[in-house]
A and B are shown apart, each in its own frame.
Chain A
Amino acid sequence: MEAFGLLLHGFAVLMTWKILALMMVGLVLGIFVGVLPGLGGPNGVAILLPLTFTMDPTSAIVMLSSIYWGALFGGAITSILFNIPGEAWSVATTFDGYPMAQQGRAAEALTAAFTSSFIGSLVAVLLITFLAPLISSFALKFGPPEFFAVYLLTFCSFVGLGRESKHKTVISMSLGLLLAGVGMDTVSGQLRMTFGSSDLLRGINFLVAVIGLFGISEILLTMEERLALRGHTAKISLRVVLNVWKDLPKYWVTLLRSSFIGCWLGITPGGAIAASFMGYNLAKRFSRDPESFGKGRIEGVFAPETAAHASGTAALLPMLALGIPGSGTAAILLGGLMVWGLNPGPLLFVEHKDFVWGLIASMYLGNVVGLVLVLTTVPVFASILRVPFAAVAPMIVVSCAIGAYAIQNAMFDIWLMLGFGVVGYVFKKIGIPLAPFTLALVLGSRAEDAFRLSMIGSGGDMKVFWSNGLVGSITTLAIVLLFWPMIERASAGLGRLWRPTKTAG
């Protein structure tokens, strides 16, 4: 019950007018960002990050995580009312959400979406509250080889479990790791890959890359599409909300199943997108009436939203406990931690108790406040889409540039951002995933340090990664995951050899 006491302490840290006000501001900005086309969770957090540079870390993380919750809530609004998923993980929400809006049940669908987001996040936050301190106290015993093995596990599982072509994931990841190494080498102080440029001396800032890759490239991609839209408006009355809530217990199996899927996929780098589809498909498969899905069934909204939000929240668990982000947005929050001078990883729980428990408490509070806020302000936010994109696009470009410049006060970063914008646009169009790149860029230098420290410790002997049971099993698991598709195919082939009669099915 130690966690409970610390959590209460966290709430005490939050209960100041300043922090509550920042939370509201963050949520409103987040919903705004989630509703606007061409912006989403990671972009919003990256662009708004400079606002927090002068704040103390606790206020800053509360505001940023509120932006994140807001963006998650906002994505559901456009999915249901306009059939436009604001984020890839809201695609599954449109399957039943939009038909409900067409039938005039938009208010019901929105309430269902917001409530299930809330439930999903809550389950994941509970998990974080009790699991994160345990994992981090375990990880305190880690030395450099263990840390390198964990980084390796993260990278390998991206390659082995990702749905994109393997070589594209490898390209994206190695490029990210390489760019992370540009500039001054932290161990020897030597310069590398700078080609005599004084601007490259600082290295390539992770946040500048993210703003370009997600913000600028997203604008370019959005412009390619036809931007006309037709949608429904909705006013949510208290009666509708209470009716939906009254029916909630009927769907407890769906909610629980989706929360579980979400938490699992959030911690492993499966991500919210996979979680939302899996939640939807499983709800459909286990339903007594699978035909009614896709025609406006409320369970079809509950299932993907719960899973997506559980996963989005659970992605923060490995970030807090081990310093390894489980999603793109978590990676940006991690970048923020470093800007504020905090060293992400297990020591965070020991050295910065106020900060960690303040953040965890703000997850509870932010979700409650967010739920109330979206339920009351949906019509306002839905009408934001009336603003023509020709007005929104240049404002986003300006915000991106301000964000990129503010990080290091360097004009060079604005050009870098533009370059990454083009790279992101081309990569997205030919199917090179950006998430491994982001992860590699933020973890790159720490992975390299861990590797070199282990090498120095062992005198250059690779066997150090199998020197004890713990590090050995992590490294082996990493290698198994890297070759997972081949192992799967081989075992399926073997299975077929043994049971030749079953091959027809």
Chain B
Amino acid sequence: MSNSEIEIVVDDPTAPEANSPAVTNTRVAEAVVCVLLIGFALLLGYDNWRTGIGWDSTGPQAGYFPFYLSVILGGASLYGLVTVLLTRRQDAETFVTRAQLRRVMAVFVPTLLFCLATQFLGMYVASFLLIAGFMRLVGKIAWWKSLLTAFVFTALMFVTFDIAFDVIMPKGPLEAAFGY
């Protein structure tokens, strides 16, 4: 082993550029999250209040504990919102840059499509499509490698879960055609 020998090198040709403009900053993101959480706390608080937040002969009613938790959640979120609004605009860090968002979407959208496909085509067909499609379209890996990897991985999952461990996954028309 010599001093500066580097033996494993992996490149990332589609890496997000460092100088990409910011889509939004953490200040805005925090404010939005706090507003959403306040809304959520109000909704749950109302629902628990309807369930009953008082006491009856058996002790606290079902809504008692969660009602006060929604109050705490709402209070903490309100505090967060106020502190965010009081901080100066210049101090905010970048939440996500445009290039980063593009990359995140490149994973998120296929994942979303995968979940949809699972609902209609079954887990295994969907996972084959996701792996092959993602490797080819996002990773720019050769077609044959993508298809082969996807097939081997999906088959491995099928054997491991459905056959060896008896953990049954959602199935679609393809599995039905094979009698599963």
On chain A, the residues within 8 Å of B69 by CB distance are 174, 177-178, 181
- Nearest A residue (CB) for B52: A190
- Nearest A residue (CB) for B81: A167
**CA gap between A102 and B5 in the complex, in Å:** 8
Is B166 in contact with A223, judged by CB distance below 8 angstroms?
Answer: no
**CA gap between A220 and B80 in the complex, in Å:** 25
**CA gap between A170 and B79 in the complex, in Å:** 11
Instruction: Encode A216-247 as 1/0 by CB contact (under 8 A) with B.
Output: 10011001101111111110000000000000
Q: List 22 A-B contacts (CB under 8 A).
A: A53-B167, A167-B77, A170-B72, A174-B69, A181-B66, A192-B63, A219-B111, A223-B107, A227-B10, A230-B6, A383-B8, A388-B141, A391-B141, A394-B134, A395-B131, A397-B110, A398-B154, A418-B112, A422-B108, A426-B29, A451-B65, A455-B59
Stretch at the interface among A90-98, A336-344, A400-408, A468-476: A400-408
Is B106 in contact with A397, judged by CB distance below 8 angstroms?
Answer: no
Decide if A51 is an interface residue (CB 8 Å cutoff). Answer: yes
On chain A, the residues within 8 Å of B157 by CB distance are 398-399, 402
**CA gap between A230 and B8 in the complex, in Å:** 6
On chain A, the residues within 8 Å of B100 by CB distance are 224
Task: Give chain B's interface residues, CB within 8 Å of chain A.
Answer: 1-12, 15-16, 26, 29-30, 33, 37, 44, 47-48, 51-52, 55, 58-66, 69-70, 72-73, 76-77, 79-80, 83, 95-96, 100, 103-104, 106-108, 110-112, 114-115, 118-119, 123, 127, 130-131, 134-135, 138-141, 149, 153-154, 157, 160-161, 165-170
Is A223 in contact with B15, judged by CB distance below 8 angstroms?
Answer: no
Is B138 in contact with A226, judged by CB distance below 8 angstroms?
Answer: no
Q: What is the minimal beta-carbon distance from B41 to any residue of chain A, in angstroms? A: 8
Given the interface pairs A228-B15, A390-B134, the reply to whether A167 lies near B37 with Cβ below 8 Å is no
Besides A54-B165, A224-B104, A394-B135, 16 new A-B residue pairs in contact (Cβ under 8 A), listed by A number: A167-B80, A170-B73, A188-B61, A219-B111, A224-B16, A226-B16, A231-B8, A232-B5, A398-B114, A398-B153, A401-B127, A405-B118, A415-B115, A452-B60, A455-B60, A460-B60
| Residue in contact with B134 in the complex, picked from A107, A178, A234, A393, CB distance below 8 Å | A393
Is A460 in contact with B131, judged by CB distance below 8 angstroms?
Answer: no
Overall SS of chain B's interface? helix
| Residue in contact with B4 in the complex, picked from A102, A167, A187, A228, CB distance below 8 Å | A102
**CA gap between A232 and B6 in the complex, in Å:** 5
Given the interface pairs A51-B167, A401-B118, A405-B169, the reply to whether A178 lies near B44 with Cβ below 8 Å is yes
Is B65 in contact with A190, judged by CB distance below 8 angstroms?
Answer: no
Instruction: Encode A291-315 as 1/0 by CB contact (under 8 A) with B.
Output: 0000000000000000000000000
Q: What is the minimal beta-carbon distance from B150 to any residue of chain A, in angstroms? A: 8
| Residue in contact with B107 in the complex, picked from A171, A175, A231, A393, CB distance below 8 Å | A393
Is B76 in contact with A401, judged by CB distance below 8 angstroms?
Answer: no
Decide if A23 is an interface residue (CB 8 Å cutoff). Answer: no
The 5 closest A-B pairs by CB, nearest first: A390-B139, A456-B59, A228-B12, A226-B15, A174-B73
Is A192 in contact with B66, judged by CB distance below 8 angstroms?
Answer: yes
On chain A, the residues within 8 Å of B104 by CB distance are 220, 223-224, 425
Decide if A199 is an interface residue (CB 8 Å cutoff). Answer: no
Given the interface pairs A386-B10, A391-B149, A460-B59, the reply to whether A402 lies near B96 with Cβ below 8 Å is no
On chain B, the residues within 8 Å of A192 by CB distance are 47-48, 51, 62-63, 66
On chain A, the residues within 8 Å of B4 by CB distance are 102
**CA gap between A390 and B73 in the complex, in Å:** 38
**CA gap between A234 and B76 in the complex, in Å:** 50
Is A168 in contact with B139, judged by CB distance below 8 angstroms?
Answer: no
On chain A, the residues within 8 Å of B44 by CB distance are 178, 193
On chain A, the residues within 8 Å of B10 by CB distance are 227-230, 385-386, 388
Decide if A3 is an interface residue (CB 8 Å cutoff). Answer: no
Q: What is the minimal beta-carbon distance from B46 to any residue of chain A, in angstroms? A: 10
- Nearest A residue (CB) for B70: A178
Is B96 in contact with A168, judged by CB distance below 8 angstroms?
Answer: no
Q: How many pairs, one residue from A and one from B, have CB atoms within 8 Å of each other in the complex?
A: 227
**CA gap between A32 and B104 in the complex, in Å:** 24
Q: What is the minimal beta-carbon distance from B115 to any residue of chain A, in angstroms? A: 5
Is A167 in contact with B169, judged by CB distance below 8 angstroms?
Answer: no
**CA gap between A231 and B100 in the complex, in Å:** 24
Decide if A104 is an interface residue (CB 8 Å cutoff). Answer: yes
| Residue in contact with A394 in the complex, picked from B11, B110, B118, CB distance below 8 Å | B110
Q: What is the minimal beta-carbon distance from A19 to any residue of chain B, in angstroms? A: 16
**CA gap between A385 and B8 in the complex, in Å:** 8
Instruction: Encode A90-117 as 1/0 by CB contact (under 8 A) with B.
Output: 0000000000001110110000000000
Decide if A487 is an interface residue (CB 8 Å cutoff). Answer: no
Is A223 in contact with B149, judged by CB distance below 8 angstroms?
Answer: no
On chain A, the residues within 8 Å of B96 by CB distance are 224, 429
Instruction: Encode A174-209 as 1/0 by CB contact (under 8 A) with B.
Output: 110110010001011010110100000000000000
Report which residue of A193, A409, A418, A431 has the largest number of chain B beta carbons within 10 angstroms of its beta carbon: A193
On chain A, the residues within 8 Å of B48 by CB distance are 192-193
Q: What is the minimal beta-carbon distance from A138 to any residue of chain B, in angstroms? A: 27
Q: What is the minimal beta-carbon distance from B109 to any residue of chain A, in angstroms? A: 11
- Nearest B residue (CB) for A53: B167
Q: What is the minimal beta-carbon distance from B168 to any residue of chain A, in angstroms? A: 7
**CA gap between A119 and B145 in the complex, in Å:** 43
**CA gap between A193 and B161 in the complex, in Å:** 34
Given the interface pairs A231-B6, A390-B138, the reply to whether A220 lies near B29 with Cβ below 8 Å is no
Decide if A372 is an interface residue (CB 8 Å cutoff). Answer: no
On chain A, the residues within 8 Å of B111 by CB distance are 216, 219, 397, 418, 421
On chain B, the residues within 8 Å of A409 by CB distance are 168
On chain A, the residues within 8 Å of B58 by CB distance are 187-188, 456
**CA gap between A359 and B35 in the complex, in Å:** 45
Decide if A211 is an interface residue (CB 8 Å cutoff). Answer: no
On chain B, the residues within 8 Å of A195 by CB distance are 47
**CA gap between A172 and B8 in the complex, in Å:** 40
Q: What is the minimal beta-carbon distance from A254 to any residue of chain B, in angstroms? A: 26
Is A430 in contact with B112, judged by CB distance below 8 angstroms?
Answer: no
Decide if A273 is an interface residue (CB 8 Å cutoff). Answer: no
Given the interface pairs A104-B1, A406-B161, the reply to whether A227 lies near B29 with Cβ below 8 Å is no
Q: What is the minimal beta-carbon distance from A285 to any residue of chain B, in angstroms? A: 30
Decide if A411 is an interface residue (CB 8 Å cutoff). Answer: yes
